[in-house]
Amino acid sequence: MEHYKFFQNRECEYFPCHNGIPEQEFNCLFCYCPLYPLGENCLGNCRYTRTGIKDCSGCTRPHLRENYDNILKQMDAVLTLAKRQDHSREEA
C-alpha cells in the first residue's frame, strides 16, 4: 500500500543522483526537492557555494521513502512563502 509515496526512474541519465542510498530504495518522486525554496530551513543537508548557490548534492532527504510524510508536512511553509512572494509582486 501507499505506492504513491515511491517512484523510481532507472532510465534517467542521472540515476542515482546521490550517493549513500541503496539503488533499490532510491526514490525519484521528489527529483526536484519541493523544499528547495525554504533555503536553510528545508531541514536537509545542504550547503551554499561561495557565490551563494544552494547545493543539495549532499542531501538524500527527499530520496528516502520514509521521508515522504515529513516533506509533505513542510509544504505549508513552502506555500506560505509562495503566497508572500505573489503578494509582493502584486504590490510592485
Across the range 9-28, mean pLDDT stands at 91
Contacts of 28 (CB under 8 A, 6+ apart): 7, 8, 9, 12, 15, 63
| Residue 42: pLDDT over 80 | yes
Q: Determine the 3-state secondary structure of 54 from DSSP.
A: strand
Taking the CB of residue 38, how many other CB atoms lie within 10 A of it?
19
* Backbone phi and psi for residue 54, each to the nearest 5 degrees, phi listed first: -75, 125
Across the range 35-46, mean pLDDT stands at 91
Q: Distance between CA atoms of 5 and 67, rounded to whole angstroms?
A: 9
Give, as one character, the DSSP assignment of residue 85.
H
Q: Domain ranges for the chain, please list them.
A: 3-87
pLDDT tens string 64-90: 999 999 999 999 999 999 888 766 766
Taking the CB of residue 82, how many other CB atoms lie within 10 A of it?
11
pLDDT band at 92 (very low <50, low <70, confident <90, very high): low
